[in-house]
Chains A and B, each alone.
Chain A
Amino acid sequence: MTYAARVKRDIERWRSIGWIDASVADNLAGDVDARAKRAFGFGSVLTILAAIMLAAAVLIFVAANWETIARPVRVVSLFALIFAGYVGGAVMKARGLRWPGEGAWLVAGAAFGASIALIGQMYHLSGEEVDAILTWGIGIAFAAVVLRSPASNVFAVGLAGLWLSLAMMDTELRDVHVPTVGFPIMAAVLWALSLYCRSRASRHCLLALLVYYGLLQCIHHRPWDDAAVMMAGVSALFFVLCAIFPRLAERFLAIRQAAVYGLIGFGVAMTLLQVSNSEAIVGPASLAFAGTVVALMLGGRNSAPVRWLAYVMFGAELCVVYLLTVGSMLGTAGFLAAAGLLLAATAFVIFLFERRMRSAQAGQGDRS
């Protein structure tokens, strides 16, 4: 059920209880409808998906290096696509077609990247893909600033993620400090850009990429125990701050549910620790369990995503412990029995927690 439908049902309930009168209820419902129309609907999702497909088609077409179309023609067509995409997108936006306009800008951005690739192909440049992606990303970020385009903003964040992945690969050949120092700077710039472009999706992607950054750093610093401990610590601190001061976090980060990324980071770090210490798993495993429970206590009440993520992590943690300890000794039957017991244990924890939460909420209701 969408948010709008849920709120309208609540409004109806409040009216029937008599907390609000009919005119207030109508106003509220009208406001919800007006907002829902502006929000990201099914049509806009399809528009953006179509734009992504067109963008991919442009990129792959260039990669095929098709001889039938002369090179200058290919270059000029791509330039025309860049121009038509940006200007056409602006015209559509000016006429109130917001998402089709954003989609056209995405296609234009892809044509820019395809042109960089085509030039590399034309002149046999063996320079690094890493630099090509960086150049591309700078071009897209430039478009996002000038046009104040949230979709281009997300595009630039995606390219930053791609750049990070490529730059952290083959660190035999490349200096690992470049992505290690460069990515946080890039993330800060893109974060600022997302505030300007009003792109919440960019901020979500950036937080997810920071977790990914932590994971890559851990893997790079093998043995990764120290790095993983640090990642767990930073993630836990982030989570606790977000969970204790949800209002402040929402205002400061300008997104809701940021705590989720702290919890994901913590889970990833704990998994790494357990994988590298599979002989002495008791310490990290109990820390992971404790962390999950603390997360439920601190953040589970106010946030459904945190609650569900904590449940999933609890279940996953049971599986990890099982796989790393007894898993090697038991057969299929043993595994199934253990899985059943694990599920039952998870369900029991969820049940206990939900009951506590309900009684706490009921207690609050009585007081008010």
Chain B
Amino acid sequence: MKASLRLIALAVLVALVQIGFLGWMIAGRAGILRDGAEIRLKVEPVDPRDLLRGDYVRLAYDISAIPVQLRTGSTGRSVDRGDRMCVGLEPNPDGLWQPVSLRAVDDRNGAPVGTVEICGKVTSVANGRDVRLEYGIERFYLPEGQGRAIERDMRVRTFIVVAAVDADGQAQIKALYDGKNKLYEEPLY
């Protein structure tokens, strides 16, 4: 009897640890949506689908490729695939945010004042001119069957993503707009 009670207690422990971990993930993500600075970015579709998580549209942003000339701080170091870098953003008159600076994530000197910074991983450096970055917001998940239609529309009209960025530069998609038309807005939970 004692052994079986112990087993049940251990099972409760496993369940609570796993659920606790998942809850912590959700809380972190919801925190970014709630408290992060809001930016608007122009997007284009790339191509869809993920086996485990269903339909999604892969997105490319204007800020997915950043010219090396924007580099600030200790510019002597070379940029390699896999480096983490931060991009300073400022809104242009249309309300879309444009890159104004680029720095390595550990290079505090390069951090610009008064801009929102978004950080990502370098996926490639195109012949020394553009740095390609991924910010973790390159996918938009949709209910099954809706991916293709949205993707088709995106090829003919301008779509805009509103993202929230926290103080560490981690970004998360908040809403998807078809021009001025709001298609999806993400609730906190």
A residues apposed to B, CB below 8 Å: 59, 62-67, 71-72, 75, 79, 82-83, 85-87, 89-91, 93-95, 105, 108, 112, 115-127, 129, 132, 139, 142-143, 146-147, 173, 175
Complex contact B53–A93 (CB within 8 A): no
Contact B139 A83 (CB under 8 A): no
Contact (Cβ within 8 A) A116 B22: yes
Q: Is the CB of B26 within 8 A of A119?
A: yes
Interface residues of B (CB under 8 A from A): 3-5, 7-8, 10-19, 21-23, 25-26, 29, 33, 50-56, 58, 82, 123, 134, 136-144, 172-173, 186-187, 189
Q: Residue of B at shortest CB range from A94?
A: B4
Residues of chain A contacted by B23 (CB below 8 angstroms): 79
**Within the assembled complex, what's the spacing in Å between the Cα atoms of A63 and B173?**
19
In the bound assembly, the distance between CA atoms of A127 and B172 in angstroms comes to 11
Q: Among the listed A93, A117, A120, A142, which residue makes an inter-chain contact with B7, where contact means beta carbons less than 8 Å apart?
A: A93
B19 adjacent to A82 (CB under 8 Å) = yes
Which residues of A have CB within 8 Å of B10?
90, 146-147
Query: Who on chain B is nearest to A87 by CB?
Result: B11
Bound CA–CA A71/B92 (angstroms): 35
Query: Once the chains bind, are A90 and B139 in contact (CB under 8 Å)?
Result: no
Asked if B26 and A82 sit within 8 Å, CB to CB, the answer is: no
CB distance from A144 to the nearest CB of B (A): 9
For the residues of A in contact with B, the DSSP-based class is helix
B18–A139 contact, CB under 8 A?
A: yes
Q: List A contacts of B134 (CB < 8 A).
A: 126
Cross-chain contact A125 with B186 (CB below 8 angstroms): no
Do B11 and A89 have beta carbons less than 8 Å apart?
yes
Can you list 21 pairs linking A and B with CB atoms under 8 Å apart? A62-B52, A63-B144, A65-B144, A75-B26, A82-B18, A86-B11, A86-B12, A86-B14, A90-B8, A90-B12, A91-B8, A112-B18, A119-B22, A120-B141, A121-B54, A122-B186, A125-B136, A126-B134, A126-B138, A146-B14, A173-B123
Contacts of B11 in A (CB 8 A): 86-87, 89-90, 105, 147
- Give complex CA distance A63, B23 in Å: 19
Residues of B near A83 (CB, < 8 A) are 12, 15-16, 19
State in angstroms the CA–CA spacing of A75 and B53 once bound together: 14
Query: Given B12, B25, B142, which contacts A65 in the complex, CB threshold below 8 Å?
Result: B142
Please state if A63 and B136 are interface contacts (CB–CB under 8 Å).
no
Given A126-B136, A129-B50, A175-B82: A119 in contact with B25 (beta carbons within 8 A): yes
Question: Known contacts A72-B189, A79-B22, A93-B7; is A65 also within 8 Å of B141 by CB?
Answer: yes
Q: Which of B15, B25, B139, B186 is A82 in contact with, Cβ under 8 Å?
A: B15
Contacts of A175 in B (CB 8 A): 82
